Amino acid sequence: MGGRLALGAGMLLGLAYDSNRRAAQAELDNPPIGRMIDLSDGSRLHYVERGSGPPVLLIHGALMQAEDMAMSLLGPLSANYRTIVIDRPGHGYSTRPAQFVSTTSASMAGQARMIHEAMGLLGVEKPIIVGHSLGGTVALAYAVQFPEHVGGIVSLAGYCFPTPRFDLMPIMLNGVPMVGPISAHTMSADFGRMYLSAMIDRIFSPDPVPDYFQERFPGGMLLRPKQLCSNGEDFSAMVAGAASMYHRYPQIQVPVAILSGSEDRIVWPQYHAKPLHKIVRGSTLELLPGVGHMLHHARTDAVVAAIHRIAERIDERVGKLGLTG
């Protein structure tokens, strides 16, 4: 019995050593592409900024980091906007404070507060916030908490309502206190390496994974134990986070554009995009035919056009306020 326990412990230690070694190598191979900003709680957020003009803030979804939206949207948008792409807290090179309790309904709200603080430090006023998937949840949390500090919202396949996600339970294990870090350093990291390519294929389906994404996206960064834990915590908090705030969506007064792929099987539009459109007055809904979850890659043109339309609506609102003022 003792020998088996020692063997099991040795195997776990070996897996943990290998995971840490691979994580360190991933960071050496993929240094930060932007800058760091220090927040009041001791955490740091990593962001990339390009261009000038009206501000646009891009917030990536789950199992991703800043490079996902940077490689699809940063170039097209920076020609007309001050475009900022941010690693959500706990992802990429952004950190979370030690006291960050992300397994409560405050998780999405907490991430939004951290990003809002960062925008203040950068002098960004009333950005158009573009959130993809779980980043869309954070964008909505930003809007309901800081209504006077948002110019507009573009929700890309956003997770908006508390629909159960039993398919994510294996990843949620990484967010369980004490158990999660052990899993993330051993089994989850090992399985992740085997199934990373299949996972990315599923996220893009039915669209093909673009060649540039396969060549340039730092997949090894996603398998670092600390990022596996962050994803587990996010998924554990996701349903409760949406449940805590969806009743406030009708209070959103800024222009809102909602885009979703008609073939999205990750965040189904009938449970999220369509109901959001019904309860947010003045919002627009665009269902992209034949497109899956990663619409900012499959239909970058449609996303950029939606951002342009939101910017025009903001200008119209400002003009009307100027006339009435």
Tens digits of per-residue pLDDT, 79-112? 999 999 999 999 999 998 865 444 443 388 999 9
Q: Is-contact 97 42, C-beta < 8 A?
A: yes
Q: How many residues does the chain have?
A: 325
- Give Cα 309 to chain centroid, integer Å: 22
Q: Is-contact 192 255, C-beta < 8 A?
A: no
Query: Which amino acid would we find at residue 144?
Result: V
Could you say which of 3.30.420.40, 1.25.40.10, 3.40.50.1820, 3.40.50.970 is the CATH number of the domain covering 37-319? 3.40.50.1820
pTM of the model: 0.92
Percentage of the residues of the chain whose pLDDT score is greater than 70 = 90
Q: Which residue's structure tokens are 């960062």?
A: 118
Query: Which amino acid would we find at residue 64?
Result: M
Neighbour tally for 174: CB within 10 Å: 28
For residue 95, with 0-12 CB atoms within 10 Å meaning exposed, 13-18 middle and 19 or more buried, which class applies?
Answer: buried
Q: Is-contact 155 179, C-beta < 8 A?
A: no
In this structure, of 91-100, 123-132, 232-241, 298-307, the range with the lowest mean pLDDT score is 91-100
pLDDT greater than 60 at residue 6: no
**C-alpha angle 29/31/33, rounded to 5°?**
130
